[in-house]
Structure 1
């Protein structure tokens, strides 16, 4: 499984547009092959930060996602609206839900 966490900062003037873009992008992404989850959140500690949490079946699914024109357009518009570059982290993860932790 691939886990992606990212965030982008917005300004009050672009807040509504960026939230709408994030929600649209997450909903569209959830319909893609290999997407196990894709959600946009407002950071409760900094309401100027939108946080994305994504789960993907494979690296190939992530590559296909990033190659889509809609994904590229989303990133380009978010970069144009944000006062800072987005931060993205991509991890190879193992689901340990069923593993006893003690």
Structure 2
């Protein structure tokens, strides 16, 4: 499984648009093949920061996601609203305990 984390810090003036674009992106992404989960959260320590958490079945699914025209358009649009450079981290992970624990 591939995990993706990322964040964007908007400003008071750009936050609402960044959140709108992010929610649309999350909804689109959830319908893509190989997407296990995709979410965006507001950072409780910084009200202008949006944090993304994604789970993908494999690297191929994530690579396909990155070339979807809407994904590329989202990255460009939300990046233009950012107060600082957005971040992204990609991890190769395996489940080591059942979800019921």
TM-score bucket of the superposed structures, by smaller chain: over 0.9
Distance 1:81 1:19 in 2: 10
- Name the structure 1 match of 2:43: 43
> TM-score of the superposition, structure 2-length normalised?
0.95
Q: In the alignment, is residue 32 of structure 1 matched against residue 32 of structure 2? A: yes
> TM-score of the superposition, structure 1-length normalised?
0.94
Alpha-carbon offset, residue 80 of structure 1: 0.8
Distance 1:83 1:34 in 2: 31
Question: 2:14 aligns to what SS in structure 1?
Answer: helix
Unaligned runs of 5+ in 1: none
RMSD: 1.3
Question: 1:12 aligns to what SS in structure 2?
Answer: coil
- Name the structure 1 match of 2:70: 70
Q: In the alignment, is residue 16 of structure 1 matched against residue 16 of structure 2? A: yes
Unaligned runs of 5+ in 2: none
Distance 1:58 1:83 in 2: 31
Distance 1:12 1:55 in 2: 29
Q: In the alignment, is residue 84 of structure 1 matched against residue 84 of structure 2? A: yes
- Cα deviations by residue, 1:21-55 (Å, 9 ceiling, x for unpaired): 11110010000000000001000111111000000
